[in-house]
């Protein structure tokens, strides 16, 4: 039977038996989604090379060590993979029971950003400086807790067999759960993260089988909220400048439009095969700001060309394709919602990041998943991969 927004939910009938134990023949390793894992690792490896190329000659950033960012990016990737392994070992169902604790921790962390412990980096007051050159961006982990928290609430009675789809009260409660951290992140302000979280909420509701009125209501609220934010002057000056530069690319090319203009020049100069790794004039000349983070895709476009930049798109496509397969194959609504939230997160964030380098999206300060430099982002996306793998590994074995 279909839910009110057209998604089939009859396959989420409760499982009366126990989940079969993994045997030597059908082990956890055999049941991992290897194309998903390979693509994520390949993206991180490519990201390491791009980050190295973008930073090895920037002595003001690397403290005179050309390997400074490369080492840290590889270390962040290694820690992220470790978090993935830990997530698979714990299992998404175990984390389901820990959602209240994880949600509380994430809310406390984003609140700390608004205290004197918070730090401003690149215009966004969204960080907590830990020390030793390390910082934490709590909003990255809020994305995970929103997905898990909403999935837990929306799927509870459906997976128990009491309902065919979430009722209005459950949907309202889940939206309230997401609204609190989103409102705090908006106060920072970190508009880019808010946009991603809004897309996550939309993806979760679509996958849950929630009534259509909630979907349309959410879209309408988003449009109204954007109008009110602009009308009430709640955006910082640097955010207004970013939208102005997007609306008019020729506006102040040496000022607010500098980043996007230089990004397009870098990508356009790469041609089909690129100038060669470490040989891009825009990259070695340090013309593109924040090239190891927000604008890392420009390094691929210039030095690896259309083929190299296209390969990144293909690998991201494989990640999304495999996540969609996992969402469809699981027999519980909870797993489907978690996977759908991750799909919405990765798809929108990648589109926004690449789109802003091409001039088709406004600059929003979002990293490219697995590729951009940044510990918090890297840890979060690998935890997400762990959740996807757990959903695949722990799906029930049918006779």
Report, as an integer, the average pLDDT of 145-157: 94
Report, as an integer, the average pLDDT of 170-189: 91
Share of the chain above pLDDT 70, in %: 83
Which of the pair, 260 or 257, is modelled with greater confidence? 260
Report, as an integer, the average pLDDT of 231-260: 62
Report, as an integer, the average pLDDT of 220-229: 75
What confidence tier does 230 reach under pLDDT thresholds 50, 70, 90? low
Which of the pair, 64 or 106, is modelled with greater confidence? 106
Residue 19 pLDDT > 60: no
Pick from 56-60, 83-87, 130-134: least confident: 130-134
What confidence tier does 213 reach under pLDDT thresholds 50, 70, 90? confident
Q: Contact at 8 Å (CB) between 83 and 93?
A: no
Residue 86 pLDDT > 90: yes
User: Which pLDDT does position 72 carry in this prediction?
Assistant: 93
Residue 20 pLDDT > 50: no
User: Which pLDDT does position 7 carry in this prediction?
Assistant: 44
User: Which pLDDT does position 365 carry in this prediction?
Assistant: 81
For the entire predicted model, the pTM comes to 0.88
pLDDT tens digits, one per residue of 116-137 = 888 877 666 788 887 666 788 9
Q: Contact at 8 Å (CB) between 350 and 364?
A: no
Report, as an integer, the average pLDDT of 173-184: 94
Report, as an integer, the average pLDDT of 269-279: 91
By DSSP bridging, strand 134-136 and strand 118-121 are unpaired
Mean pLDDT for all residues in the chain? 85
Which of the pair, 226 or 247, is modelled with greater confidence? 226
User: Which pLDDT does position 12 carry in this prediction?
Assistant: 57
User: Which pLDDT does position 13 carry in this prediction?
Assistant: 47
**H helix runs in the chain, sequence order:** 28-31, 34-55, 59-62, 68-90, 92-97, 99-113, 139-159, 168-187, 191-208, 212-231, 237-247, 258-268, 281-284, 296-299, 305-329, 333-358, 375-393
User: Which pLDDT does position 255 carry in this prediction?
Assistant: 54
User: Which pLDDT does position 80 carry in this prediction?
Assistant: 97
Q: Is 119 left (phi over 0), alpha (psi -120 to 50) or beta?
A: beta
Which of the pair, 64 or 383, is modelled with greater confidence? 383
Residue 6 pLDDT > 60: no
User: Which pLDDT does position 236 carry in this prediction?
Assistant: 62
Report, as an integer, the average pLDDT of 223-248: 64
What strands, in cross-sheet order, belong to the sheet with 124-131? Answer: 118-121, 124-131, 134-136
Pick from 19-28, 42-51, 366-375: least confident: 19-28
User: Which pLDDT does position 10 carry in this prediction?
Assistant: 46
Give the list of residues 6+ apart from residue 139 with CB closer than 8 angstroms, or none. Answer: 110, 126, 185, 188, 190, 193, 197
Structure token digits, residue 264: 């397009």
Structure token digits, residue 376: 């918090």
User: Which pLDDT does position 245 carry in this prediction?
Assistant: 59
Residue 52 pLDDT > 80: yes
Report, as an integer, the average pLDDT of 209-225: 84
């Amino acid at each position: 039977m279909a839910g009110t927004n057209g998604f089939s939910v009859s396959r989420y009938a409760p499982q009366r038996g126990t989940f079969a134990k993994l045997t030597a023949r059908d082990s956890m390793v055999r049941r991992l989604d290897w194309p998903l894992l390979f693509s994520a690792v390949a993206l991180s490896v490519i990201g390491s090379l791009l980050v190295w190329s973008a930073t090895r000659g920037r002595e003001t950033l690397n403290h005179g060590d050309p390997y400074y960012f490369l080492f840290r990016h590889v270390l962040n990737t290694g820690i992220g993979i470790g978090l993935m392994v830990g997530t698979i070992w714990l299992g998404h169902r175990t984390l389901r029971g820990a959602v209240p604790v994880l949600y509380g921790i994430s809310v406390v962390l984003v609140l700390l950003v608004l205290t004197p412990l918070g730090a401003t980096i690149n215009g966004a007051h969204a960080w907590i400086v830990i020390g030793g050159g390390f910082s934490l961006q709590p909003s990255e982990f809020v994305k995970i807790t929103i997905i898990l928290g909403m999935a837990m609430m929306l799927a509870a009675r459906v997976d128990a067999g009491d309902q065919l789809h979430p009722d209005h009260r459950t949907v309202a409660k889940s939206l309230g759960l997401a609204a609190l951290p989103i409102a705090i992140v908006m106060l920072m302000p970190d508009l880019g993260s808010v946009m991603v979280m809004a897309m996550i909420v939309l993806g979760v509701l679509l996958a849950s089988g929630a009534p259509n009125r909630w979907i349309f209501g959410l879209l309408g609220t988003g449009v109204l909220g954007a109008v009110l934010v602009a009308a009430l002057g709640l955006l910082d000056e640097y955010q207004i400048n970013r939208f102005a530069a997007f609306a008019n690319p020729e506006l102040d090319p040496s000022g607010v439009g500098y980043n996007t203009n230089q990004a397009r020049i870098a990508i356009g100069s790469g041609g089909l095969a690129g100038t060669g790794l470490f040989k891009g004039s825009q990259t070695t000349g340090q013309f593109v700001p924040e090239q190891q983070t927000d604008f890392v895709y420009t390094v691929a476009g210039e030095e690896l060309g259309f083929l190299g930049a296209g390969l990144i798109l293909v690998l991201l496509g494989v990640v999304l394709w495999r996540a969609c397969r996992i969402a469809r194959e699981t027999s519980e609504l909870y797993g489907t919602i978690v996977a759908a939230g991750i799909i919405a997160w990765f798809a929108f964030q990648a589109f926004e990041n690449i789109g802003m380098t091409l001039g088709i999206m406004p600059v929003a300060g979002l990293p490219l998943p697995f590729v951009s430099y940044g510990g918090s982002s890297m840890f979060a996306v690998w935890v997400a991969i762990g959740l996807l793998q757990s959903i695949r590994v722990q799906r029930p074995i049918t006779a």
